[in-house]
Amino acid sequence: MSITQKGLQKLMEKYQNEDTWLNIGEGLLKIMVIMLIANILIRIGKLAIHNIFKIRNLSPLNTSERREATLSRLLDNILTYVVYFIAIMMVLSVLGIDVKALIAGAGVVGLAVGFGAQSLVKDVISGFFIIFEDQFSVGDHVRIGQFEGNVQSIGLRTTKLKSWTGEVHILPNGGITEVTNFSLNNSLAIIDVGIATDEDLDKAEKVIQDLLERMPERYEELVREPDYLGIQNFGPAEVTLRIVAETLPMQHSAVARKIRKDIKLSLDEHGIEVPYPRMVMYSKDNGSMKEPSV
């Protein structure tokens, strides 16, 4: 009998043994129980983390909701990584693999790789400083380098930005050196309104002032009544008036559009014209001036 035949005979005898199948079934059952317990622990842990932050929100010493949302997501990720790592080690132990030797070998390899993975360590450390210094949080609108958008997530290594056109930018935390955060403070909407030079300026200012006084009641995005600053500029056919409105963070563009529309409708209602291009024609024969036309 050849060596191959002897090997196949031993293998068949092994799998025909009842103890072998009992051991396999017991191992599969243990693996299923380990993964089930791991999933239950992750769900319970995430629920506990979210409940803790809910309780903190009810306390008088609560911190920023933006920061708490970021910390909650980060703790969820850390909990998932830790529980699954322990579960995988237990599964390997059930399969008969020497976990102690594996961990010791991984430690040596990790030490060697660590010297060449300085950028990874830099990314992780920078991620922690971004979160705990509250530089920006999930939901903020920021500009990082040439990229601008809403922060979707802050991980241990990367930060995800989603621009208003839908692109998602994934940035290493270690490469984030300058950040402009548009969501920390209130925004300013600057509205310039042009009035024809031959219109009654005092009447136009009175119409605009009366309209601005009613603005806070109409738009909840406004922090207070908009300020009319006066004449901003003179043009060939117009006088430019400037209005400044303080709004909630990142609401200035929408509020500015609404205010422009309201001012235009109000000026039309009171018969005040906005500037438009005019053309004056002269006759060479008698030098007389014709009626201006648009």
pLDDT value of position 87: 87
pTM (2 decimals)?
0.54
Residues 109 and 161 occupy one common structural domain: no
- Could you give the C-alpha distances from 185 to 100, 140, 225, 257, in angstroms and in order? 52, 11, 17, 20
Residues 160 and 221 occupy one common structural domain: no
Q: Which of 32-36, 137-141, 275-279 has the highest mean pLDDT?
A: 32-36
Residues 170 and 194 occupy one common structural domain: no
Residues 135 and 155 occupy one common structural domain: yes
pLDDT value of position 61: 43
Q: Of 144, 164, 181, which residue constitutes the final position of a domain?
A: 181
Rounded to a whole number of angstroms, the distance between the first and last alpha carbons of the chain is: 108
- Say if CB 79 and CB 146 are below 8 A apart: no
Identify whether 5 is part of a domain: no
Residues 227 and 176 occupy one common structural domain: no
pLDDT value of position 62: 47
Residues 152 and 170 occupy one common structural domain: yes
Supply the range of the domain harboring residue 197: 187-269
Residue where the block lists tokens 């997530």: 153
Task: Indicate which CATH number applies to the domain containing 77.
Answer: 1.10.287.1260
Residues 174 and 191 occupy one common structural domain: no
Identify whether 2 is part of a domain: no
pLDDT digits (tens, 9 = 90+) for 249-259: 888 888 999 99
Residue 142: φ, ψ to 5°:
-135, 165
Planar angle of CA 277, 283, 286, nearest 5 degrees = 145
Residue 27, classed as helix, strand or coil, is helix
| CA atoms of 118 and 112, how far apart (whole Å) | 11
Tokens of 81: 């990584």
Tokens of 23: 């051991």
Number of folded domains that form the chain? 3
Q: Of 181, 200, 219, which residue constitutes the final position of a domain?
A: 181
pLDDT digits (tens, 9 = 90+) for 176-222: 888 888 888 888 889 998 888 888 888 988 999 989 988 888 888 89
| CA atoms of 51 and 29, how far apart (whole Å) | 33
17 class by beta-carbon count within 10 Å (0-12 exposed, 13-18 middle, 19+ buried): exposed
Task: Indicate which CATH number applies to the domain containing 236.
Answer: 3.30.70.100
